[in-house]
Amino acid sequence: RIETGSERILSEIVNQAKEHYDYILIDTSPSLNILTINALCASDSVLITADTQLFAIVGISELLKTIQKIKKRVNASLTIKGILLTMCDNRTNLSKLLTQQVEEMYQGKIAVFQTKIPKTVKVGEAIYSGQSIKKYAKGSSVDIAYDNLAKEICYE
14-27 pLDDT per residue, tens: 989 998 998 899 99
Summarize pLDDT for 106-146 with one digit per residue, the tens.
Answer: 999 999 999 999 999 999 999 999 999 999 999 999 999 99
pLDDT for the residue numbered 143: 97
Which strand (E) or helix (H) includes residue 47?
Answer: strand 45-51
Closest by CA to 105, choosing from 80, 83, 89, is: 83
Summarize pLDDT for 59-101 with one digit per residue, the tens.
Answer: 899 999 999 999 999 999 999 999 999 999 989 999 999 999 9
Q: How far apart are CA 89 and CA 26, in angstroms?
A: 26
* Report field, pTM of the whole predicted structure over 0.85: yes
Q: State how far Cα 110 lies from the chain centre.
A: 13
Q: Which domains does the chain have, with CATH numbers?
A: 6-119 (3.40.50.300), 120-156 (no CATH)
- Is the Cβ–Cβ distance between 50 and 102 less than 8 Å? yes
Closest by CA to 31, choosing from 56, 52, 4, 3, is: 56
- Is the Cβ–Cβ distance between 18 and 24 less than 8 Å? yes
pLDDT for the residue numbered 31: 83
- Is the Cβ–Cβ distance between 40 and 75 less than 8 Å? yes
Amino acid at 92: T
